[in-house]
Structure 1
Amino acid sequence: MYKIKTLNNISASGLSRLPSERYEIVDELEQADAVLVRSADMHPIELPKSVIAVGRAGAGTNNIPVAKLSKQGVVVFNAPGANANAVKELVLASMLISARNLHDALSFVSGLTADHMEETIEAQKKRFVGNELSGRTLGVVGLGAIGVRVANAARALGMRVIGFDPHMTVEGAWALSSDVIKASGLNELFASSDFISFHVPLLEGTRGLFNTAALSVVKSGVTLMNFSRDGIIDPEALKQGLNDGRIGRYVSDFPKADLIKHPRVIALPHLGASTHEAEENCAVMVADQVRDYLENGNIANSVNFPSTRMARGARSRICVANLNKPNMIGQLTHVLGVHGINIAQMHNASKGENAYNLVDVDDEVGIELLTELRGIDGVLSVRLV
């Protein structure tokens, strides 16, 4: 029986994908084969050797020590796109709130008293005159699962959309509306947009992606929307732009103590994926992926190992995670040959520094063979499924 440890409340819809006759949700981490997590910080946690998979019920994995787990051969899964619709709808809401000055208008009305309320509203409502979205330009930085949906939805509202993503996938290109303009660089997007929405992971190359240099080229009064990750927008550039009016509004899902009272800032309490539907979608997606890995060794949507899938076609299956370096396959097949093991089928794939192998064999596999495979320099993990 496989044992699963949950570090957060995982949707029952997800846990129901793990049949009770084969899976048990355990209280102690030391008992676990896999961990399911949402937002809990796993960096200070030492995982026992029994854990071979971590499933993040969401897209980002900043709360997981991915590099450390990779060295241990632990596969880290996420759920890209499962919360895409939820984030898309929040971006659209943010544009409407900003364009129509709804945040200020709501605050105004909530402060009224019954005395002369109608007269006060009629006298003051012109303070909150806004703009329509149709005809305005939205810049989308990052055209992954969320960015594509945001771009397409904005086009449906009559907006002009310009996008930038140098690493766009073929699947993303197929899904993106043909009316979306492809920017040649970020400066072109920054200079053309009335609204800018960020949908990129927080990496060394994206930290401070919007900085003082970007601030010098943006349209005056631009609305920035950050539902991606804190750190994408440089804090000093943000403060400077807010104070001098070059940034007309900043809508963020990551509140900062020094900005939440700023009149141009609308801060939300990390609501991007906070819908019942998104939580269920993420939990179901990651539970299915972890189950397929535990039972069949298949990998889909891993952030540290390559997608690898192969139909079962022999008596035994050996799963090998290793460093991506020369002669690894040769060494693996040599050991199998020495033990007289015939390979029925094999699939190898690599991703960055790591590689993964599925090897189906016609013979029974003993502990001695597995031990010898684990002893190969560069092998991170070996298991029999």
Structure 2
Amino acid sequence: MDNPAAWITTAARRLAVDAIRRARTASRALPALAAAAREVGDPVDVFAFNGDERLELILTVCHPEVAEETRLALALRFACGVPTRDVATMLLIAETTMAARLTRAKKHLHDSPIRFALADVRQVSERMPDALSVIALMYTVGYAAPTHEDAARLRADAIALARDAHRVGVGGSETSGLLALLLLTEARSASRVDATGEMVELATADRTLWDRRMLEEGESLATSALTSGTGRFALQAGIAGIHALAPSWEETDWDGIARLYEGLVDLWPSPPARLARIVARGYSSAVGAANARLELDADDELFSGATAAQAFAVRAELDILSGERASARDDLRASAARTADPVVRRHLERRIASLGD
């Protein structure tokens, strides 16, 4: 996940550094709502909720009467402290539109007769998928700027919340899958940038820096998740696990990764997932770079909006694999022109320089 072709294995959205500074995972922006959520009658299925207050708040704002996208936005904004404009960027919505939606959603939650009961296993189970998505996006905020002072804390908070969700015991294989995905990703964090803060490609990363204990825990959880289910996070964890198990870049099981991405796109056909599948197919023996490039060119949506920079970077990698260096330079320039993150842009510029004239 550390070179242009691998950014898109998650739904990463490059947030501004000042937004990351303001992110606060223990926000208490909705105390009245959280208090009201406890005013419930006798639940049908009672169990002991053992997650922390942050997970409780995320579950509380993931209200079934609010549209899914708005539920995620509410949790990111008020439970995780992500500013409205960056929530809007992450979810590909105009800031003014997002602000209006959040205002309406807060009023709707305040007026709704539905109250969330932590002791009701059915309600917790129904809301847990949204909570897992919020935790994954929270980790992304910290992952997007690894050299920033808040990045490690944000990632650690997301992992702690994923552990809480897993400990609660509701959500099936997806709680194992999310925790596995975050651990397998975090285990490689020490090799993501060099001593000067510049990006390091996964292909050339020093794998001796990877946290073996974290990898082992993540691999065990990923195996468990894929054994008992094939949800979105279980599949992503499996992909991360294959990368982690590979002794080197050259020995990566790209055919296995491509098969897992096929299942992921069938389940979650988002632009980032489709783009990642093309990368894997480009490296696989069954498809190859030239055919994968044709598939990429046929998916016009990937070259617009938030995935445009990544799509051009991926096409450049496929060009390089196909021996099309001139086309690769053009695509890398197009990617750099659409990239706001200075660390990523410098990486792309070095790639351009390495290809010569």
Range into which the TM-score falls when normalised by the shorter chain: under 0.3
- Find the structure with the greater CA-based Rg: 1
Larger proportion of strand: 1
TM-score normalised per structure 2: 0.28
TM-score normalised per structure 1: 0.26
